[in-house]
Amino acid sequence: MYSSSLYKLTKATTIQIAFDYKYVRKEHQGLRRASWEVFCPVDDIGAPPAYDNPPSLGSPNQSPKRFAPQSPTKSDTSDTTVPLSPAAADALIKQFTQVSREVDHQTEAINAAVSKQLPAYLEKVLPDVLESLLAGAPKSHVSSPASSFISVDFLGNKYPKLPPLTPLGKTWIPHLRVHLAQQFQQYQARQLQRFEQLVDKKLDEVWNEAYDARAHETAEMMNEMEEHKADIALLKEDTIKDLGREIEDVFTKCKEEGDVLSNDVNERLSELCDGIFDEKKLKLRKMIAREFSRQKRKKMGALKRTGKRLGRSDGRLLGRRREEEEEWIDC
Protein backbone atom coordinates (compact mmCIF):
# COMPACT_ATOMS: atom_id res chain seq x y z
CA MET A 1 0.00 0.00 0.00
CA TYR A 2 2.81 2.41 0.92
CA SER A 3 4.87 1.41 -2.12
CA SER A 4 1.95 2.04 -4.50
CA SER A 5 1.29 5.45 -2.91
CA LEU A 6 4.95 6.42 -3.16
CA TYR A 7 5.11 5.18 -6.72
CA LYS A 8 2.12 7.31 -7.69
CA LEU A 9 3.60 10.25 -5.80
CA THR A 10 6.87 10.04 -7.73
CA LYS A 11 5.02 10.01 -11.05
CA ALA A 12 2.75 12.94 -10.20
CA THR A 13 3.42 16.30 -11.86
CA THR A 14 0.85 18.17 -9.76
CA ILE A 15 0.15 17.64 -6.07
CA GLN A 16 -3.04 18.79 -4.37
CA ILE A 17 -2.96 19.14 -0.60
CA ALA A 18 -6.24 18.75 1.35
CA PHE A 19 -6.54 19.87 4.96
CA ASP A 20 -8.89 18.21 7.43
CA TYR A 21 -10.62 20.74 9.69
CA LYS A 22 -11.70 18.15 12.22
CA TYR A 23 -8.84 18.87 14.63
CA VAL A 24 -8.76 22.66 13.96
CA ARG A 25 -10.52 25.02 16.30
CA LYS A 26 -13.51 27.01 15.09
CA GLU A 27 -11.70 30.35 15.08
CA HIS A 28 -9.07 28.92 12.77
CA GLN A 29 -11.55 27.24 10.34
CA GLY A 30 -11.47 29.91 7.65
CA LEU A 31 -9.38 31.40 4.87
CA ARG A 32 -6.64 33.94 5.37
CA ARG A 33 -3.55 35.06 3.60
CA ALA A 34 -0.34 33.38 4.63
CA SER A 35 3.22 33.35 3.52
CA TRP A 36 4.56 30.50 1.40
CA GLU A 37 7.75 30.46 3.35
CA VAL A 38 6.47 27.56 5.39
CA PHE A 39 6.95 25.35 2.34
CA CYS A 40 10.61 26.20 2.02
CA PRO A 41 13.06 23.44 2.90
CA VAL A 42 14.37 23.47 6.44
CA ASP A 43 17.32 21.69 7.92
CA ASP A 44 15.75 20.42 11.10
CA ILE A 45 12.26 19.05 11.06
CA GLY A 46 10.85 19.32 14.49
CA ALA A 47 7.70 18.07 16.08
CA PRO A 48 4.42 19.73 15.09
CA PRO A 49 3.19 22.50 17.38
CA ALA A 50 0.91 21.48 20.19
CA TYR A 51 -2.78 22.21 20.02
CA ASP A 52 -4.40 24.68 22.35
CA ASN A 53 -6.26 21.94 24.19
CA PRO A 54 -3.94 18.93 24.27
CA PRO A 55 -5.60 15.64 25.00
CA SER A 56 -5.30 14.25 28.48
CA LEU A 57 -3.14 11.29 29.26
CA GLY A 58 -6.09 9.16 30.29
CA SER A 59 -8.11 9.69 27.14
CA PRO A 60 -7.46 7.21 24.33
CA ASN A 61 -5.97 8.40 21.08
CA GLN A 62 -8.60 8.57 18.38
CA SER A 63 -7.45 7.49 14.97
CA PRO A 64 -8.71 9.37 11.94
CA LYS A 65 -11.71 7.75 10.33
CA ARG A 66 -11.87 6.72 6.70
CA PHE A 67 -14.78 7.51 4.45
CA ALA A 68 -15.81 6.28 1.05
CA PRO A 69 -14.83 8.54 -1.85
CA GLN A 70 -18.45 9.07 -2.86
CA SER A 71 -19.61 10.00 0.65
CA PRO A 72 -19.06 13.50 2.08
CA THR A 73 -16.37 13.87 4.71
CA LYS A 74 -17.26 14.37 8.31
CA SER A 75 -15.88 17.91 8.27
CA ASP A 76 -18.57 18.88 5.75
CA THR A 77 -21.48 17.36 7.65
CA SER A 78 -20.37 17.47 11.30
CA ASP A 79 -21.86 19.78 13.89
CA THR A 80 -18.49 21.46 14.50
CA THR A 81 -18.47 23.03 11.03
CA VAL A 82 -19.15 26.77 11.12
CA PRO A 83 -21.90 27.66 8.66
CA LEU A 84 -21.18 30.51 6.27
CA SER A 85 -23.60 33.41 6.00
CA PRO A 86 -24.62 34.76 2.56
CA ALA A 87 -22.38 37.80 3.05
CA ALA A 88 -19.44 35.60 4.04
CA ALA A 89 -20.12 33.39 1.05
CA ASP A 90 -20.10 36.40 -1.29
CA ALA A 91 -16.89 37.65 0.25
CA LEU A 92 -15.38 34.20 -0.10
CA ILE A 93 -16.36 34.08 -3.78
CA LYS A 94 -14.83 37.51 -4.39
CA GLN A 95 -11.69 36.42 -2.59
CA PHE A 96 -11.52 33.28 -4.74
CA THR A 97 -11.86 35.38 -7.89
CA GLN A 98 -9.03 37.59 -6.67
CA VAL A 99 -6.85 34.66 -5.76
CA SER A 100 -7.56 32.76 -9.01
CA ARG A 101 -4.98 34.89 -10.79
CA GLU A 102 -2.38 33.79 -8.27
CA VAL A 103 -3.17 30.06 -8.61
CA ASP A 104 -0.55 29.47 -11.25
CA HIS A 105 2.15 31.09 -9.13
CA GLN A 106 1.01 29.10 -6.09
CA THR A 107 1.06 25.86 -8.08
CA GLU A 108 4.55 26.58 -9.28
CA ALA A 109 5.65 27.35 -5.73
CA ILE A 110 4.10 24.12 -4.40
CA ASN A 111 5.69 22.07 -7.16
CA ALA A 112 9.07 23.65 -6.47
CA ALA A 113 8.75 22.98 -2.74
CA VAL A 114 7.70 19.37 -3.30
CA SER A 115 10.48 18.79 -5.81
CA LYS A 116 12.96 19.95 -3.19
CA GLN A 117 11.46 18.03 -0.27
CA LEU A 118 10.57 14.80 -2.09
CA PRO A 119 14.07 13.48 -2.94
CA ALA A 120 15.24 13.83 0.66
CA TYR A 121 12.08 12.16 1.93
CA LEU A 122 12.38 9.33 -0.56
CA GLU A 123 16.04 8.78 0.30
CA LYS A 124 15.01 8.50 3.92
CA VAL A 125 11.99 6.24 3.41
CA LEU A 126 12.86 3.99 0.47
CA PRO A 127 15.63 1.92 2.16
CA ASP A 128 13.18 0.71 4.81
CA VAL A 129 10.10 0.37 2.58
CA LEU A 130 10.82 -3.17 1.36
CA GLU A 131 11.73 -4.39 4.84
CA SER A 132 8.59 -2.84 6.34
CA LEU A 133 6.40 -4.32 3.62
CA LEU A 134 7.90 -7.79 4.01
CA ALA A 135 7.99 -7.71 7.80
CA GLY A 136 6.82 -11.01 9.28
CA ALA A 137 7.59 -13.05 6.15
CA PRO A 138 8.87 -16.61 6.81
CA LYS A 139 12.64 -16.86 6.46
CA SER A 140 12.56 -20.51 5.45
CA HIS A 141 9.96 -22.94 4.18
CA VAL A 142 11.53 -25.79 6.13
CA SER A 143 9.68 -26.54 9.36
CA SER A 144 10.02 -29.16 12.02
CA PRO A 145 7.97 -32.34 11.75
CA ALA A 146 6.19 -31.53 15.00
CA SER A 147 4.89 -28.16 13.81
CA SER A 148 4.50 -28.93 10.10
CA PHE A 149 1.09 -30.61 10.54
CA ILE A 150 -1.38 -29.07 12.94
CA SER A 151 -4.87 -29.95 11.63
CA VAL A 152 -6.49 -33.23 10.63
CA ASP A 153 -9.85 -33.56 8.86
CA PHE A 154 -12.41 -36.34 9.23
CA LEU A 155 -10.65 -38.34 6.50
CA GLY A 156 -7.35 -38.27 8.37
CA ASN A 157 -5.63 -35.83 6.01
CA LYS A 158 -3.04 -33.52 7.58
CA TYR A 159 -2.59 -29.92 6.54
CA PRO A 160 0.61 -27.86 6.89
CA LYS A 161 0.78 -24.80 9.09
CA LEU A 162 0.39 -21.61 7.08
CA PRO A 163 3.00 -18.84 7.54
CA PRO A 164 1.84 -15.44 8.84
CA LEU A 165 0.92 -12.78 6.32
CA THR A 166 3.10 -9.75 5.74
CA PRO A 167 1.61 -6.23 5.64
CA LEU A 168 2.02 -6.29 1.89
CA GLY A 169 0.22 -9.63 1.74
CA LYS A 170 -2.60 -8.26 3.89
CA THR A 171 -3.08 -5.38 1.46
CA TRP A 172 -3.24 -7.83 -1.42
CA ILE A 173 -5.83 -10.11 0.18
CA PRO A 174 -8.96 -8.16 -1.01
CA HIS A 175 -7.64 -7.94 -4.56
CA LEU A 176 -6.58 -11.59 -4.50
CA ARG A 177 -9.96 -12.59 -3.09
CA VAL A 178 -11.83 -10.91 -5.94
CA HIS A 179 -9.36 -12.20 -8.53
CA LEU A 180 -9.36 -15.74 -7.14
CA ALA A 181 -13.16 -15.74 -6.88
CA GLN A 182 -13.41 -14.90 -10.57
CA GLN A 183 -10.70 -17.42 -11.42
CA PHE A 184 -12.47 -20.07 -9.33
CA GLN A 185 -15.78 -19.36 -11.03
CA GLN A 186 -14.13 -19.69 -14.43
CA TYR A 187 -12.32 -22.84 -13.32
CA GLN A 188 -15.56 -24.25 -11.90
CA ALA A 189 -17.41 -23.48 -15.15
CA ARG A 190 -14.63 -25.13 -17.19
CA GLN A 191 -14.58 -28.16 -14.90
CA LEU A 192 -18.37 -28.43 -15.06
CA GLN A 193 -18.28 -28.19 -18.85
CA ARG A 194 -15.48 -30.75 -18.97
CA PHE A 195 -17.40 -33.03 -16.61
CA GLU A 196 -20.53 -32.73 -18.77
CA GLN A 197 -18.49 -33.53 -21.87
CA LEU A 198 -16.87 -36.47 -20.09
CA VAL A 199 -20.26 -37.76 -18.91
CA ASP A 200 -21.71 -37.40 -22.41
CA LYS A 201 -18.68 -39.21 -23.85
CA LYS A 202 -18.94 -42.02 -21.29
CA LEU A 203 -22.69 -42.33 -21.90
CA ASP A 204 -22.07 -42.53 -25.64
CA GLU A 205 -19.38 -45.17 -25.08
CA VAL A 206 -21.64 -47.18 -22.76
CA TRP A 207 -24.51 -46.88 -25.24
CA ASN A 208 -22.31 -47.98 -28.13
CA GLU A 209 -20.90 -50.88 -26.11
CA ALA A 210 -24.40 -51.94 -25.05
CA TYR A 211 -25.64 -51.66 -28.64
CA ASP A 212 -22.67 -53.67 -29.95
CA ALA A 213 -23.10 -56.29 -27.23
CA ARG A 214 -26.82 -56.56 -27.95
CA ALA A 215 -26.17 -56.82 -31.69
CA HIS A 216 -23.50 -59.49 -31.08
CA GLU A 217 -25.77 -61.47 -28.76
CA THR A 218 -28.65 -61.13 -31.23
CA ALA A 219 -26.46 -62.40 -34.06
CA GLU A 220 -25.29 -65.35 -31.95
CA MET A 221 -28.87 -66.14 -30.93
CA MET A 222 -30.01 -66.02 -34.56
CA ASN A 223 -27.15 -68.33 -35.56
CA GLU A 224 -28.06 -70.74 -32.77
CA MET A 225 -31.72 -70.60 -33.83
CA GLU A 226 -30.75 -71.38 -37.42
CA GLU A 227 -28.61 -74.28 -36.23
CA HIS A 228 -31.46 -75.58 -34.04
CA LYS A 229 -33.87 -75.21 -36.96
CA ALA A 230 -31.50 -77.16 -39.20
CA ASP A 231 -31.09 -79.86 -36.53
CA ILE A 232 -34.86 -80.04 -36.03
CA ALA A 233 -35.41 -80.27 -39.81
CA LEU A 234 -32.86 -83.10 -40.10
CA LEU A 235 -34.37 -84.86 -37.09
CA LYS A 236 -37.84 -84.47 -38.57
CA GLU A 237 -36.68 -85.84 -41.92
CA ASP A 238 -34.93 -88.79 -40.25
CA THR A 239 -37.98 -89.45 -38.08
CA ILE A 240 -40.29 -89.39 -41.11
CA LYS A 241 -37.96 -91.75 -42.98
CA ASP A 242 -37.77 -94.11 -39.99
CA LEU A 243 -41.54 -93.97 -39.59
CA GLY A 244 -41.99 -94.67 -43.33
CA ARG A 245 -39.65 -97.63 -43.10
CA GLU A 246 -41.48 -98.93 -40.02
CA ILE A 247 -44.84 -98.49 -41.73
CA GLU A 248 -43.53 -100.19 -44.87
CA ASP A 249 -42.13 -103.06 -42.83
CA VAL A 250 -45.39 -103.42 -40.90
CA PHE A 251 -47.40 -103.18 -44.13
CA THR A 252 -45.19 -105.79 -45.80
CA LYS A 253 -45.45 -108.07 -42.78
CA CYS A 254 -49.22 -107.59 -42.59
CA LYS A 255 -49.48 -108.21 -46.33
CA GLU A 256 -47.51 -111.40 -46.02
CA GLU A 257 -49.62 -112.52 -43.08
CA GLY A 258 -52.77 -111.51 -45.00
CA ASP A 259 -51.61 -113.47 -48.00
CA VAL A 260 -50.95 -116.52 -45.84
CA LEU A 261 -54.30 -116.09 -44.09
CA SER A 262 -56.04 -115.57 -47.44
CA ASN A 263 -54.46 -118.69 -48.82
CA ASP A 264 -55.51 -120.64 -45.72
CA VAL A 265 -59.03 -119.24 -45.93
CA ASN A 266 -59.19 -120.00 -49.63
CA GLU A 267 -57.98 -123.51 -49.03
CA ARG A 268 -60.45 -124.02 -46.21
CA LEU A 269 -63.27 -122.48 -48.21
CA SER A 270 -62.31 -124.63 -51.16
CA GLU A 271 -62.29 -127.70 -48.98
CA LEU A 272 -65.56 -126.66 -47.37
CA CYS A 273 -67.14 -125.96 -50.73
CA ASP A 274 -65.87 -129.24 -52.04
CA GLY A 275 -67.31 -131.01 -49.01
CA ILE A 276 -70.59 -129.16 -49.35
CA PHE A 277 -70.66 -129.86 -53.05
CA ASP A 278 -69.95 -133.54 -52.51
CA GLU A 279 -72.54 -133.73 -49.77
CA LYS A 280 -75.12 -131.94 -51.84
CA LYS A 281 -74.23 -133.99 -54.83
CA LEU A 282 -74.78 -137.12 -52.82
CA LYS A 283 -77.99 -135.79 -51.41
CA LEU A 284 -79.08 -134.67 -54.83
CA ARG A 285 -78.42 -138.10 -56.19
CA LYS A 286 -80.35 -139.58 -53.33
CA MET A 287 -83.20 -137.15 -53.86
CA ILE A 288 -83.22 -137.75 -57.58
CA ALA A 289 -83.21 -141.45 -56.95
CA ARG A 290 -85.99 -141.14 -54.44
CA GLU A 291 -87.99 -138.89 -56.69
CA PHE A 292 -87.45 -141.20 -59.60
CA SER A 293 -88.50 -144.18 -57.56
CA ARG A 294 -91.45 -142.25 -56.16
CA GLN A 295 -92.58 -141.17 -59.56
CA LYS A 296 -92.13 -144.63 -60.75
CA ARG A 297 -94.14 -146.07 -57.90
CA LYS A 298 -96.69 -143.38 -58.27
CA LYS A 299 -97.07 -144.12 -61.89
CA MET A 300 -97.34 -147.81 -61.29
CA GLY A 301 -99.81 -147.37 -58.44
CA ALA A 302 -101.94 -145.00 -60.43
CA LEU A 303 -102.32 -147.49 -63.17
CA LYS A 304 -103.52 -150.13 -60.66
CA ARG A 305 -105.96 -147.96 -58.84
CA THR A 306 -107.34 -145.91 -61.66
CA GLY A 307 -110.84 -146.88 -61.23
CA LYS A 308 -110.99 -146.91 -57.45
CA ARG A 309 -109.38 -143.51 -56.57
CA LEU A 310 -110.55 -141.17 -59.30
CA GLY A 311 -112.72 -139.25 -56.83
CA ARG A 312 -110.04 -138.91 -54.10
CA SER A 313 -107.65 -136.21 -55.34
CA ASP A 314 -106.69 -134.78 -51.92
CA GLY A 315 -105.84 -137.97 -50.17
CA ARG A 316 -102.87 -138.01 -47.82
CA LEU A 317 -99.81 -140.22 -48.39
CA LEU A 318 -98.96 -142.65 -45.65
CA GLY A 319 -95.80 -144.40 -44.56
CA ARG A 320 -92.53 -144.20 -46.47
CA ARG A 321 -93.98 -142.32 -49.41
CA ARG A 322 -95.00 -139.46 -47.12
CA GLU A 323 -91.54 -139.12 -45.69
CA GLU A 324 -89.96 -139.18 -49.11
CA GLU A 325 -92.33 -136.48 -50.31
CA GLU A 326 -91.67 -134.27 -47.29
CA GLU A 327 -87.93 -134.66 -47.74
CA TRP A 328 -88.34 -133.73 -51.32
CA ILE A 329 -90.30 -130.67 -50.37
CA ASP A 330 -87.71 -129.68 -47.77
CA CYS A 331 -84.94 -129.94 -50.31
In this prediction, residue 273 carries a pLDDT of 80
- Amino acid letter for position 78: S
Report yes or no: 6 and 122 within 8 Å, Cβ to Cβ: yes
Report yes or no: 328 and 292 within 8 Å, Cβ to Cβ: no
Long-range contacts of 1-7 (CB under 8 A, 24+ apart): 1/167, 1/168, 1/171, 2/129, 2/132, 2/133, 3/129, 3/133, 3/168, 6/122, 6/125, 6/126, 6/129
Find, among 162, 160, 164, the residue nearest to 148 by Cα. 160
pLDDT digit string, tens, across residues 243-257: 999 999 988 988 888
| CA–CA distance, 125 with 4 (Å, rounded to integer) | 13
| CA–CA distance, 331 with 316 (Å, rounded to integer) | 20
| CA–CA distance, 87 with 85 (Å, rounded to integer) | 5
| CA–CA distance, 59 with 54 (Å, rounded to integer) | 11
Pairing label, strands 158-160, 149-152 = antiparallel
In this prediction, residue 195 carries a pLDDT of 94
In this prediction, residue 61 carries a pLDDT of 46
The domain ranges of the chain are 1-44+67-133
In this prediction, residue 285 carries a pLDDT of 76
Q: Can you give the three-state secondary structure of the chain, one letter per residue?
A: CHHHHHHHHHHCCCCCCCCCHHHCCHHHCCCCCCCHHHHCCCCCCCCCCCCCCCCCCCCCCCCCCCCCCCCCCHHHHCCCCCCCCHHHHHHHHHHHHHHHHHHHHHHHHHHHHHHHHHHHHHHHHHHHHHHHHCCCCCCCCCCCHHHHEEEECCCCCEEECCCCCCHHHHHHHHHHHHHHHHHHHHHHHHHHHHHHHHHHHHHHHHHHHHHHHHHHHHHHHHHHHHHHHHHHHHHHHHHHHHHHHHHHHHHHHHHHHHHHHHHHHHHHHHHHHHHHHHHHHHHHHHHHHHHHHHHHHHHHHHHHCCCCCCCCCCCCCCCHHHHHHHHHHHC
In this prediction, residue 85 carries a pLDDT of 63
In this prediction, residue 193 carries a pLDDT of 93
| CA–CA distance, 167 with 136 (Å, rounded to integer) | 8
In this prediction, residue 79 carries a pLDDT of 42
| CA–CA distance, 30 with 24 (Å, rounded to integer) | 10
| CA–CA distance, 187 with 192 (Å, rounded to integer) | 8
Find, among 22, 17, 21, 18, the residue nearest to 30 by Cα. 21
In this prediction, residue 96 carries a pLDDT of 62
pLDDT digit string, tens, across residues 29-75: 666 666 666 555 555 555 555 544 444 444 444 444 444 444 444 44
pLDDT digit string, tens, across residues 3-16: 667 667 777 777 77
- pLDDT tens, residue order, the chain (331 aa): 556 676 677 777 777 777 666 777 777 666 666 666 655 555 555 555 554 444 444 444 444 444 444 444 444 444 444 455 667 666 766 666 665 555 566 777 788 888 888 888 878 877 777 666 666 555 554 444 444 556 676 677 777 777 777 777 777 888 888 888 888 999 999 999 999 999 999 999 999 999 999 999 999 999 999 999 999 999 999 999 999 999 999 889 888 888 888 888 888 888 888 877 777 777 777 777 777 777 777 777 766 665 455 445 444 544 445 445 444 444 4
